[in-house]
Structure 1
């Protein structure tokens, strides 16, 4: 898709700047983990936990990790 990795990174940087987001994968994963741990006490669906984590990331102005990362981090929730 891109001619070089340098061009791809330049494009990602411009998009982040335009959207007012910052990239910090480690901090984003820590925020997601903390949010899911707290919310798991009252929510019983991984989808609910992921949605809440997405809201927290947006509020914090952080770039959203891949869905597979969030899906892996969501604890399995069973019935009842």
Structure 2
């Protein structure tokens, strides 16, 4: 994973749940500027904060973090009769 890649998916997940940065800042009692930095991946929330966010949104914490694995397409071989 390079520095240009986003580490968290917070902005995407908030949009999927129709929630705003302001809503999250209010729920966590954090400065909206801090939440904005998280959403733009300029800084990262702590693991404890990610857990709190996951609890608020009722999701698995893994949904908030981009995978570090490179996904490769699966190959399927088909045996043709004849």
Please give the TM-score of this superposition, normalised by the length of structure 1: 0.25
Rg larger for: 2
